[in-house]
Structure 1
C-alpha cells in the first residue's frame, strides 16, 4: 500500500501559521492546514460527538489550532458537509492539505503525526476501491469466497507488519487501530456475504458457509466506545449484528425489514453490546433507519415497544413518543389539514391555496437534520422524474432567511412557531406527506431516502 508521506521540517511547515524555536520544547499539539476552494470559513474538530475546538480559515485559506492536554486517540474534523478522521497524540504538529472539489482523494497530511494518518487515509480510500472487487466476489460459492478474502487479509497483515517495522515507536493503541482499519473492512464484507450472495444470485435462502468462515470473530471486541464513530469499526459491528439476527431463521430481505426482524435485531443489539452508550446509539439508529426505509405511516407498534423496553436513554425514548404522536396527527385516506406557512418574501400563505388540486409532496425538513445541498439535489431529481407532481419544501426550524440555492424559490417555504403544522412536527423529524389532487393524504410519513418512495410516487401519479 502506497503511503502519502511528505517529509517537511515542522518549523518550515508552520511558516505563516506560528513561529517556532529549537530552544523551546513543544508542550502543545498543533492541528492546521490549507483548504483549497473552502466551503465554509471554519474547521471543527471533534472527539466522538464532543466539539474540541473551532478553527477559522484566513484569507490565504489556511488555519491553525493549538490544543492543550490532548489525549491520544481518534478525532475527526468537519468542513462544510465533509469530514475525515485523524489520529492525534500529544505534541503532534499535524498539517493537512485538501481541495474540497475532491475532498478525500486530495487530502494529504504532513508534519509530526503525518505517517500514521496518511496510512489510515489510504485504508479508507482502499475500502472504496475494493467495492467493485467484492461485488464480483459475492457471486462466488462460500469456499471460493473464503479463499479470496483469506488472501486479502494476509496482504493487509503484511502491510501492517511493514508499517510497524518502519515505525517502531508508534503506541500500542495506534497499532491496534491501524490493524482494525486494515482488516475490519474485509471482516465486514465477510459478514455481509450471505445476504449479498443471495441477492446477487437471486436466491430465496442463504448459502451454507464453512465452519471456519467466521473464525476471525474470536478476536473482535464489540464494545470499544472510543471507536463508535469510526467507519471501519462501526460498519463491522453493524454488519455482525444484522448477520447474527438473520441467523435466527430469517430469509433474505431487500427493500425493507419486517417488524419482527427489526424487533429481533434490537434484541440482538441489547444482548451483544455491553457498552450502555454504544448500545443506546445502535438501538436508536436501527429503529429510525428501518422506519425511514419503510417510508410509511402504517406503523407496527411491536418494534417501538421493544425499543422503549431496551433503551436506557430517556431523550431517545421521548423522541420516539413524539414521533408516534406526530404520526397519529395526520390520518391516511383523510383530508389534509390546512395551515399557514410563509414564502421567502415573508408572505403568509395557506396550504390549501398552494395545493390547488395538484398531486403534491410536502417535504418538512430541519437544517439540523439534513443539509440544504441534499434537499436541493433530491427534490430536483424527483421533480424531474415526476413532473406531474408538485414538490414543496417546508423548513420547520433554524435559519429561515437562507434559501436553498439552485432550487425554485416558488417551491420553498417555512413555518413559524405559531403554525398549526407544529402539531404534527414535535419530533422535528424529516417527513414527507403525499397528498392527491383531492387533498386526501395517501402517505403521512414518507421518506425521500427510501427506495419505496418511487412506487409511492407512481401510485400518487395515478390519481
Structure 2
C-alpha cells in the first residue's frame, strides 16, 4: 500500500507536468498517459475491443501521452511487452498511469480524472488473483457447503458494489455494469467450473449432483452483451457457462482432449445460447480450433468441423479453418520428411532431410500473429530441458534472420519461405508442430506444444532408437 501511495504522489506531479499548460480547448479532449518504469519496449498500444486505437511512444523519460477527440465511453485495454490491463475511459478524462514492469499489476496506479474508477478495477483484479488459491480449496467441498461459501462471497462483493454506488452517484450506468461484472462474474465463473474442478480435485470419475438453486444466479445474467464480450471476466464466465451446459447433456469429465460428440454438442450449445452474431462466430471459431490443437494430432474430427461450417457466418474464419484442414492433408503420420529447406540465422539453407537424419526431431513452425514469442520463449526451454535427447527447431513462417526469440539458443532458430514450397503445408500461417523420428519418418504431422498430450508424445519420441 505504501508503494501505491508513493506512486500516486509521483503520478500527480507527472499529471500536472503533462496537462498543466494545456489550453481550455485542449482540456475538452480525453487524455491517456503516464510513466512506465523499466519498460520492455519503447511503446504502449491502446485497444478498443480487438482493434488498435493508438500506439503511444515513450519519450526519453519513459513518459507517454495520447490525446483523443470524440472518444466513446467504455472499456479499453493497453498492452506493453507481453502484459496488458483494462482501463475505463470517458470523454474529457485525463487518466494517467504509473507502473513498474517488474511488478506490473501490483505497481499499477492511476491519477487524474477517471482515476478512482480505474483504481478500484485494478484492486478487484488483484483480489481475484489472490482468491484463486481459496477457490482451489473450496472445490473439494460438496455442493451444499460450496454453495454456502459462494453465497457469502457474493454478498460481500455486492456490498462493495453498493458502497461504491452510494458514494459515487455521478458515475454512469455503463460503468456500474462494468464494476458489477468485475466483482461478481469471476465468482460465477468459478461456480460454472466447480463440477469439473471438483472431479479433478477429488480424483473422481463423475460430476457432483447439484439442484436448480445451485445456478439460480443465471436468471439475472446477460449472455449477449457484445461490448462486454471483450472484457475477460465476462468472456471467461460465458465460456465456462457454455462448457458446463454441454457437460450437463450427459458427457463424462474430459481432460486430455474432448470427444467429437462433446465438440459437436458444444458448438450447438454456443449457437443456441449466444445470439450476438460477432460473439457467436468468435466462440465457434475458438472452440473448433482449441479442440483441434488440444488433440495434438492430424486425426480430424470431421463431424465437428462440418457442424462448425454450418453454424458460423464468418467467411474469413471459415477460410482459415479450411486452410488448416488442407494443410493437415500435407505431411501425415508415416510420411517421409523431405523436399523442403529451412534457413538458419546466417541465411544458410539446410535440407530438412539433413537436419533430421539420425535425430528424433521436433519442428515447431510459428507465426507471430498466431502464437506469441513470449509463450514460445517460456514453453520451448521447458520442453528442451525435460526432453534433452530431442532435436528442436523453432521455425518462423515467412520470417527472416532478425526476428530472434529470447531465451532460446540461436542455433535452434530458423525461418522458412512457405511461398517457395512445392507442397505448402503452412498456408494458414497457424502454428504447427511436426514430430519426426531419426529415420526421417513423421510420427505426428500436426502436434501442438500447448496441448496436454504433447509431453507424452515427446516422451515416446525420445524412446525411439
The unaligned stretches of length 5 or more in structure 1 are none
Farther off after superposition, 219-228 or 141-150? 219-228
Q: CA 1:9/1:111 → structure 2, altered by over 3 Å: closer, same or farther? A: farther
- Residue 48 of structure 2 corresponds to 47
- Residue 129 of structure 2 corresponds to 128
For residues 388-409 of structure 1, give each alpha carbon's deviation from its aligned partner in whole angstroms, at most 9, with x where no partner exists.
1101111102454222223222
Matches within 5 A, 1:354-393: 354-393=355-394
Matches within 5 A, 1:46-65: 46-65=47-66
* CA distance, structure 1, for counterparts of residue 11 and residue 67 of structure 2: 14
Matches within 5 A, 1:133-148: 133-148=134-149
Q: How far does residue 418 in structure 1 lie from its aligned partner after superposition?
A: 4.2
Q: CA 1:172/1:446 → structure 2, altered by over 3 Å: closer, same or farther? A: same
Q: CA 1:417/1:20 → structure 2, altered by over 3 Å: closer, same or farther? A: same
| RMSD over aligned Cα atoms | 2.1
Specify the SS of the correspondent of 1:14: helix
Q: CA 1:336/1:130 → structure 2, altered by over 3 Å: closer, same or farther? A: same
Q: How far does residue 421 in structure 1 lie from its aligned partner after superposition?
A: 7.2
* CA distance, structure 2, for counterparts of residue 127 and residue 7 of structure 1: 22
- Residue 219 of structure 1 corresponds to 220
* CA distance, structure 2, for counterparts of residue 329 and residue 63 of structure 1: 48
* CA distance, structure 2, for counterparts of residue 385 and residue 10 of structure 1: 45
- Residue 176 of structure 2 corresponds to 175
- Residue 287 of structure 2 corresponds to 286
- Residue 113 of structure 2 corresponds to 112
For residues 64-97 of structure 1, give each alpha carbon's deviation from its aligned partner in whole angstroms, at most 9, with x where no partner exists.
1101101110000111111110000011000001
* CA distance, structure 2, for counterparts of residue 234 and residue 209 of structure 1: 24
* Counterpart check, 1:66 vs 2:62: no
Q: How far does residue 268 in structure 1 lie from its aligned partner after superposition?
A: 0.3
For residues 374-421 of structure 1, give each alpha carbon's deviation from its aligned partner in whole angstroms, at most 9, with x where no partner exists.
222221111111111101111102454222223222211101254327
Matches within 5 A, 1:9-28: 12-20=13-21, 26-28=27-29
* CA distance, structure 2, for counterparts of residue 122 and residue 82 of structure 1: 17
Q: How far does residue 201 in structure 1 lie from its aligned partner after superposition?
A: 1.6
- Contact 2:364/2:432, CA 8 A, preserved across alignment: yes
Q: How far does residue 8 in structure 1 lie from its aligned partner after superposition?
A: 6.7
Specify the SS of the correspondent of 2:53: strand
Q: How far does residue 24 in structure 1 lie from its aligned partner after superposition?
A: 5.7
* CA distance, structure 1, for counterparts of residue 295 and residue 289 of structure 2: 10
* CA distance, structure 1, for counterparts of residue 10 and residue 58 of structure 2: 23
For residues 223-244 of structure 1, give each alpha carbon's deviation from its aligned partner in whole angstroms, at most 9, with x where no partner exists.
1111122111000000100000
The unaligned stretches of length 5 or more in structure 2 are none
For residues 253-306 of structure 1, give each alpha carbon's deviation from its aligned partner in whole angstroms, at most 9, with x where no partner exists.
111111110111011001000000000000111111111111111112011111
- Residue 312 of structure 1 corresponds to 313
- Residue 270 of structure 1 corresponds to 271
Q: How far does residue 12 in structure 1 lie from its aligned partner after superposition?
A: 4.6
- Residue 394 of structure 1 corresponds to 395
* CA distance, structure 1, for counterparts of residue 22 and residue 430 of structure 2: 52
* CA distance, structure 2, for counterparts of residue 74 and residue 104 of structure 1: 17
User: TM-score normalised to the size of structure 2?
Assistant: 0.95
* CA distance, structure 2, for counterparts of residue 9 and residue 418 of structure 1: 52
Farther off after superposition, 167-176 or 4-13? 4-13
Q: How far does residue 102 in structure 1 lie from its aligned partner after superposition?
A: 1.4
- Contact 1:8/1:111, CA 8 A, preserved across alignment: no
- Contact 1:392/1:411, CA 8 A, preserved across alignment: yes
* CA distance, structure 2, for counterparts of residue 65 and residue 58 of structure 1: 12
Q: CA 1:398/1:84 → structure 2, altered by over 3 Å: closer, same or farther? A: farther
Farther off after superposition, 182-191 or 408-417? 408-417
- Contact 2:12/2:111, CA 8 A, preserved across alignment: no
- Residue 452 of structure 2 corresponds to 451
- Contact 2:11/2:97, CA 8 A, preserved across alignment: no
* CA distance, structure 1, for counterparts of residue 58 and residue 110 of structure 2: 17
* Counterpart check, 1:405 vs 2:419: no
- Contact 2:76/2:88, CA 8 A, preserved across alignment: yes
Q: How far does residue 21 in structure 1 lie from its aligned partner after superposition?
A: 5.9
* CA distance, structure 2, for counterparts of residue 304 and residue 167 of structure 1: 49
Count of paired positions: 463
Farther off after superposition, 321-330 or 391-400? 391-400
Q: CA 1:7/1:38 → structure 2, altered by over 3 Å: closer, same or farther? A: closer
Q: CA 1:109/1:353 → structure 2, altered by over 3 Å: closer, same or farther? A: same
Q: CA 1:7/1:24 → structure 2, altered by over 3 Å: closer, same or farther? A: farther
Q: How far does residue 211 in structure 1 lie from its aligned partner after superposition?
A: 2.5
Q: How far does residue 347 in structure 1 lie from its aligned partner after superposition?
A: 1.1
Q: CA 1:251/1:209 → structure 2, altered by over 3 Å: closer, same or farther? A: same
For residues 115-167 of structure 1, give each alpha carbon's deviation from its aligned partner in whole angstroms, at most 9, with x where no partner exists.
10111111111111111111111111100000000000000011111111221
- Contact 2:418/2:426, CA 8 A, preserved across alignment: no
